[in-house]
Amino acid sequence: MARYRGAVCRLCRREGMKLYLKGDRCYSDKCAVERRNYPPGQHGQRRPKFSNYGEQLREKQKVKRIYGVLEKQFRRYFEMADRQKGITGVNLLILLERRLDNMVFRLGFASSRNEARQLVRHNHFRVNGRKVNIPSYLVKPGDVIELREKSRKIQRIQDSLEAVVRRGVPSWLELDKDRFRGRVLALPTREDLTMPIREQLIVELYSK
């Protein structure tokens, strides 16, 4: 499967904000956005001028990079959101939040979504007692996400759980650190998603 293999800090600089793609590094003074807050490349320090289309494209690219989704899959999420009742842009963000790799990251088992994706693929997690190794698996309210017993001694998972206090666990999730499990209490609302995302621009881009 195609995936981005370059320096992820360049993606944060391109979007002009922290996308939290590098785990603990994003919270330190080594963060690339803190050190060089301008787009990468020879002309990065020039003041960019975006057209309406450019702003819509940048917003779509930002959300794709936050959740680690490629174009074909992202468009499929948009089509699913468009068929659902309610506001299409909000439906899109909720679908992305429901991904298993995102839930593993939100619960604090991993320091980044990329790390969470790797842990899911390597069979470290169970959903409702069943092994699930598909990062795009969509969880539902009431689902229990549990770390496999043999994986509970992995140091990087333990370190991530210790650091979750700094990041916090969302109100729609419940974490039981002692039992290495989390529960989906409800689906998030738009007010719960605090990342600066203008989802209406994405809807306008795909609606042309």
What tokens does 196 get? 């600066």
pLDDT at 22 over 70: no
The answer to whether 136 touches 73, Cβ cutoff 8 Å, is: yes
147, burial (CB in 10 Å: exposed 0-12, middle 13-18, buried 19+): buried
The answer to whether 123 touches 131, Cβ cutoff 8 Å, is: yes
pLDDT at 78 over 80: yes
* Across 3-7, 31-35, 58-62, 90-94, least confident range: 31-35
- CA–centroid distance for 147 within its chain: 19
Residue 207 pLDDT: 86
Query: Which of 38-47, 87-96, 157-166 holds the top average pLDDT?
Result: 87-96
What tokens does 189 get? 């609302």
Residue 164 pLDDT: 81
Residue 68 pLDDT: 87
* Across 50-54, 74-78, 178-182, least confident range: 50-54
Average pLDDT of the segment spanning 43-56: 73
* Across 82-86, 94-98, 145-149, 162-166, least confident range: 162-166
Residue 102 pLDDT: 94
Residue 46 pLDDT: 64
The answer to whether 13 touches 37, Cβ cutoff 8 Å, is: yes
- CA–centroid distance for 119 within its chain: 14
DSSP state, residue 46: S
What tokens does 6 get? 């370059």
The answer to whether 197 touches 96, Cβ cutoff 8 Å, is: no
Q: Calculate the dihedral angle through the C-alpha atoms of 132, 134, 136, 139, rounding to the nearest 10 degrees.
A: 0
Residue 165 pLDDT: 72
Residue 88 pLDDT: 94
The residues with which 181 forms a beta bridge, in sequence order, are: 146, 176
Strands across the sheet containing 181-184 = 130-131, 125-127, 144-147, 181-184, 173-176
Please tell me the class of the 8-96+195-206 domain.
mainly alpha
Report the CATH number of the 99-184 domain: 3.10.290.10
The pLDDT mean for the chain works out to 83
Among residues 112, 118, 122, the alpha carbon closest in space to that of 66 is found at 112
Among residues 48, 46, 20, the alpha carbon closest in space to that of 34 is found at 20
- Non-local (6+) Cβ contacts of 186 within 8 A are 141, 172
Among residues 120, 110, 93, the alpha carbon closest in space to that of 194 is found at 93
pTM recorded for the entire structure: 0.81
Q: Where are the domains of the chain?
A: 8-96+195-206, 99-184
Residue 1 pLDDT: 44
